[in-house]
Amino acid sequence: MSNDVSIQLFNQTDDQELYICVFQKPDEANPNEIYTTLFPVAWKILALGPKQTSDPIIYPIQLQMSVAESQDAKNAIHRTTYQDCDEGQIWSFERPGMFSDVTLKTGKSPEGEVVVQNNSQEKVDIGLAKNGTNLVVKKNVIEGDQAVFQLTPTLYFLAASDLQMGDLIRSDDITEKAFSLSLTDLASADVTVYTADHLSGKLAWKATNKVSV
């Protein structure tokens, strides 16, 4: 992806107040990790009543990595570091004393993944983020281990009243009915949720007004 993407959401139902979750999934995730130690994250939550429209969501080109520490530092409980990064980069997280640091290493990852190595003496949670909110996170990465991230170029949309921004999405059962929007060569689009069956209240989704790069 080589550009920011603007997406506007519309609730076109007649009587349903919806909390809409926007998230991504890791690409080709290790089946031994996904929903065990590696989780998609609720990146955005939008509350839209019937016939309401959201402000545009901007999915930025700039990527970030995040490291959340498990050991407290003075006046820095639950400290998290965010660092701008690019696909293919390899980073090292270290904590030689009270302060921690992330360092860009030489070389590139073989498949364009973002790699973050934990070289501190504590467990950390490592994530891939946009605008300071994680898209995916690998939990409890031990010293000497690493997180390897590659995202699908797709955003997913789901009506979910029990999720808050930043919550882990813990199973495919939650996401199997999510609506998907490819970000490949996309500059902007409208995403609409509407009532497909008025008797049951079943929802349906559509993407319109797609503008290519």
* pLDDT of 30: 65
**32 phi-psi bin (left φ>0, alpha ψ -120 to 50, beta other):** alpha
Rg of the chain on CA atoms, in Å: 19
Evaluate whether 151 touches 177 at the Cβ level (below 8 Å): no
pLDDT tens figures, 69-103: 887 766 666 789 999 999 999 999 998 888 888 99
* pLDDT of 104: 95
Strand pairing category for 114-118 and 90-94: parallel
CA distances (Å), origin 57, targets 8, 142, 155, 193, 204: 6, 35, 11, 15, 20
Q: How far apart are CA 194 and CA 25, in angstroms?
A: 24
Residue percentage of the chain with pLDDT more than 70: 95
Angle at 31 between CA 30 and CA 37, to 5 degrees: 75
* pLDDT of 27: 75
